[in-house]
Every structure is written in C-alpha cells, then in structure tokens.
Amino acid sequence: MIGVFDSGYGGLTVLKGFLEKLPDYDYLYLGDSARAPYGNKSLKVIYDYTRQAVDFLFSRGAVLIILACNTASAKALRRIQQEWLPDHYPDRRVLGVVIPLAEAAADVSRWGRIGVIGTRATVESRVFDQELHKLNPKLKVIEKACPLLVPLVEEGWVRKPETRSILKKYVLPLKSAAIDTLILGCTHYPFLKNDIARIMGKNCRVLDAPAIVAGKLADYLVRHPEIESRLSRKQARSFSTTDDPERFRTFGEDFLGRRIGEVLTVDLKE
C-alpha cells in the first residue's frame, strides 16, 4: 500500500495524479485538516505532526509514504528519513514532493527565472531555492509566501471572488518579475491552477505538480523493485481525516469525481 499524507485536502491533488498514472496500486490517504494549515507552525510542531502521521500510515500497512505536503517535505522529511525511520521502519520509505518539482522546473525553464509560491514555512525554509541552485547555480529564483490560500481552499472558497482577489495580490509581483516558470509549492494550490495561469499569462508556464510527482513516483518504483514488489495491487482506496469525515467525503468525491465511501476519523495526538 502507498500512503499519501497532507495537512488537509491539498494532497488529494497528488493522489488524483497517482490514480491516473498508477491506478493499480492500493492507496491510503490521510489529511490532518484539524491541525491545518502547517505553514504557519514551528519547525518542531511540523516535525511532530508529520511523524505522527507517518507512524499512523505505516501502522495501517503502508510500505511507501509520499509526503504530499510541501511544508512537511521541506521541514520534516529529511529528519524523518535520517533519524526516525531507521529506528522504527528501516525497511520502508518516505518520499517528498519538493525535489521532483525543482527538477521539473529546472528542466523546462526557458530563461532561468523561476517563481515559487508556497506556505510561509516552505518559503522561509528556502528549500526550493536550495534544490534549484543545486541543479543550476545560475537560476534566478523568486519566492512568495501565500499564507491565506490554504485556509481558503480548506473552506471550499476556490471559486469565490474574494479568493481570486487575494490570489491576484500574491502572484502579480511574480508576474512583474518576468518569471518564465512557476512552481506551485503547496499541494492545495493546484485547486487554483487555472486562475493562477490566467493571471500569470502565456509567457509563464505554471507546472502541473500532480502529474510531475506521479511521473517521478513511477520512475522511483521502476528503479526500486525491492519496494515496488511489496506494494499491494487491488485498486483499494482508503481515506482518513483528523476532522469532519462527512465534510472530507463531500469535498473528496467532488474533486476526485468518484465515490470514496466511508472516511475514517483518526486522532494523531500522542
């Protein structure tokens, strides 16, 4: 089973990419909506929350976990991989979404001017800036924190004019900076991709983050048969949330375009 973790609903965008690219595998999704957003929280809190989520997913049978949350990928992934995983689940793996997006942006950028929008924690970590400059030191990276977008998506305000107005204020400075490629550095932001692309205009490519991450996962499974061979293939999909299960189910079914059945409510607190 493949576990997919996000601070709330945003990881559903990544899961949808997986279901389109790799539909045969079993997936277990966990959204920590009760404690979202993660982007305004301290490093310790983000790590503790992420570790609790990873432990939950492994205890339910996941062999491989994708941290669909960019904040968790930026702030907790490395420590979990290096310190926690070897002592608790040495035969399992946890992957993030930052490096796949950085690699894709570096590959497609025409003029070497890349923009990143993300939560405050992700932007302040400078993880995208660091990963992009590892790939190409000459790149110009311009980042913008957009702390209001996650709560707006979680509230179902994607199509509200107020959201479009706030979004415009966030991304217009990046358009003025003449970036040619934009990374949506939060899994909630693909819900707003069409509006973002409209604002940025035809001279800026807004990356399709879910498709990119799904493609990278497919590559990873080919390169790591020792993990792939242990993944169950019954096309099962299970969903868990730390908040209102009915609200999650309604949102999830609307976005995924399919029934998702019962949503389990979990408490991740230790």
- C-beta of residue 197 within 8 angstroms of C-beta of residue 206: yes
| 2-96+211-265 and 98-208, same CATH topology | yes
Which residue among the candidates 46, 53, 67, 69 is catalytic per the annotation? Answer: 69
Give the whole-angstrom CA distance, residue 57 versus residue 184. 25
Q: Which two tokens stand for residue 103?
A: 């690699």
Residue % of the chain over a pLDDT of 70: 100
Over residues 41-80, the pLDDT tens digits come to 999 999 999 999 999 999 999 999 999 999 999 999 999 9
As assigned by CATH, the class of the 2-96+211-265 domain is alpha beta
Query: Given pLDDT bands bounded at 50, 70 and 90, which one contains residue 269?
Result: confident
> Can you give the pTM of this predicted structure?
0.94
User: HSE (CB half, 13 Å, CA atoms) of 14?
Assistant: 35
**Residues 24, 25, 30, 36, CA torsion sign:** negative
Q: Does domain 98-208 have CATH number 3.40.50.1860?
A: yes
Which residue among the candidates 186, 192, 199, 214 is catalytic per the annotation? Answer: 186
- Residue 204 annotated among the catalytic residues of the structure: no
Domain segments of the chain as ranges = 2-96+211-265, 98-208
Over residues 219-249, the pLDDT tens digits come to 999 999 999 999 999 999 999 999 999 999 9
Give the whole-angstrom CA distance, residue 255 versus residue 7. 17
- Residue 186 annotated among the catalytic residues of the structure: yes
